[in-house]
Amino acid sequence: MSSRKRSAVWNHFSEVDPKKARCTYCSNTIGISGGNVGNLNRHLKTKHPTVSLVPARQEELAPPPPVTETISVPSTSTDSVQSACPVHPTPTPTQPSMVEFVNNMKPIGPRRSEKVDEQLIKMIAKGHHPFSIVEEPEFKKLLAMLCGGYSLPTRKSLSNNLLPQMYNRELIKARAKVASVSAICLTTDGWTSINNEHFIAITAHYIKNSQLHSTMIGCVQYPDRATAANLASHMRNVLEEWAISDKVTAIASDNGANIVAAIRARNWRHVACFAHTLNLCVQNALVPISETTAKVKQVVEYFKRSSQALAKLRELQGQLNVPQLKLKQDVVTRFNSTYLRHAKALGRN
């Protein structure tokens, strides 16, 4: 090895040819004409001042030899036996070197940065996190500790660029999956949000490679009246957009007159939702005891509206040494909520 290769500066450069060397931090090429490494030293001092140029000597890297301590061991005779036992000193905790620190802060490559961006979008979308999470100081600190070279995107970049890009990629994959099957069943439902906005969703279900797959092919805000004609037109447009009009074998929905008429108007086979049908049966069976259920509903509403009454109820539950159960209000579309409401009103688990 030449003398110049023994220099500590070569820990931070790789030789391109006898006259050039490349910096491992910024990938700049530095001239070393005549074997002089002075240019390399100047580059480190100017561009990377935190890099240590202290040579790592072999003797410094080798573990220290054990310290031999003479210990006197008493014996049964009048003589004493000397025993030499190696005693290893307790290792001193070391801090990360400057090289490790600089490497950790070095910007990551574009491919890895894209992967991190993609995972960030998945975390936000699947976890229902706000875009503002990228502005949270503690979240920034966490990412800086895990990967100091990663640069967080802004909220605007997330919403205007990264999210639409991922949506388009996933849409292409979903279309390819749906296009590869010959028979599809659909489920559809509509609901009104807490902001009084009506939505309609359509999901495709199909068998692929002996496994059941489900792909949502539509979930939109629907401002029009939910008449049978309007619903039929909406479903037809969605199926034509996905080119699956000739693949639909059946459509499952609730027993609403409008959606049932919309499905049958297009000559699709309708399958009534079993849970909705069961709920209708139970609600019809509860009619004879409607007076009782109405009274129980009033009791639950009283404790739901009054925080003082609820506190008193919890206090009494504690005094009676019974579980502090929460009162449930029934929902017309879920018969089990009526059962749970009455069971808890009667003090049953």
Query: 């969605």: which residue's tokens?
Result: 238
**Is 278 inside a domain boundary?**
no
Considering the domain architecture, whether residues 169 and 190 belong to the same structural domain is answered as no
**Is 18 inside a domain boundary?**
yes
Q: Which residues contact 309 (CB under 8 A, 6 or more apart)?
A: 302, 303
Domain boundary among 123, 149, 173: 173
Instruction: Spell out the per-residue pLDDT of the chain, length 349, in tens.
Output: 444 566 778 888 888 887 888 888 888 888 876 666 777 877 887 777 777 665 544 434 444 455 444 444 444 444 444 444 445 555 555 555 555 554 455 677 888 888 999 999 999 999 999 999 999 999 999 988 888 888 889 999 899 999 999 999 999 999 999 999 999 999 999 998 888 999 999 999 999 989 999 999 999 999 899 999 999 999 999 999 999 999 999 999 999 999 999 999 989 999 999 988 888 888 888 889 888 888 888 888 888 888 898 898 888 888 888 888 778 777 777 767 777 655 555 555 4
Asked if 104 and 149 touch (Cβ cutoff 8 Å), the reply is: yes
Considering the domain architecture, whether residues 160 and 189 belong to the same structural domain is answered as no
Domain count, the chain: 4
Considering the domain architecture, whether residues 164 and 186 belong to the same structural domain is answered as no
Beta strands 270-272 and 198-208: pairing type? unpaired
**Is 304 inside a domain boundary?**
yes
Domain boundary among 118, 148, 173: 173
Considering the domain architecture, whether residues 247 and 264 belong to the same structural domain is answered as yes
- How many other C-beta atoms are found inside a 10 Å radius of the C-beta of residue 156? 9
Instruction: Give the pLDDT confidence score for residue 1 in this predicted structure.
Output: 44
| CATH (domain of 234) | 3.30.420.10
**Is 93 inside a domain boundary?**
no
**Is 63 inside a domain boundary?**
no
Considering the domain architecture, whether residues 117 and 156 belong to the same structural domain is answered as yes
Considering the domain architecture, whether residues 155 and 186 belong to the same structural domain is answered as no
Asked if 253 and 187 touch (Cβ cutoff 8 Å), the reply is: yes
Considering the domain architecture, whether residues 50 and 112 belong to the same structural domain is answered as no
Query: 């301590």: which residue's tokens?
Result: 69
User: Which tokens go with 321?
Assistant: 């040494």
Considering the domain architecture, whether residues 120 and 169 belong to the same structural domain is answered as yes
Which range marks the domain in which residue 123 is found?
107-173
Instruction: Give the pLDDT confidence score for residue 67 in this predicted structure.
Output: 46
**Is 88 inside a domain boundary?**
no
Domain boundary among 36, 57, 78: 57
Instruction: Give the pLDDT confidence score for residue 342 in this predicted structure.
Output: 55
Considering the domain architecture, whether residues 312 and 338 belong to the same structural domain is answered as yes
**Is 154 inside a domain boundary?**
yes
Considering the domain architecture, whether residues 240 and 199 belong to the same structural domain is answered as yes
**Is 143 inside a domain boundary?**
yes
Cα angle 274, 200, 130 (rounded to 5 degrees) comes to 115
Considering the domain architecture, whether residues 115 and 143 belong to the same structural domain is answered as yes
Distances in Å between the Cα of 160 and the Cα atoms of 110, 119, 314 are: 19, 17, 49
Considering the domain architecture, whether residues 305 and 227 belong to the same structural domain is answered as no
Asked if 64 and 92 touch (Cβ cutoff 8 Å), the reply is: no
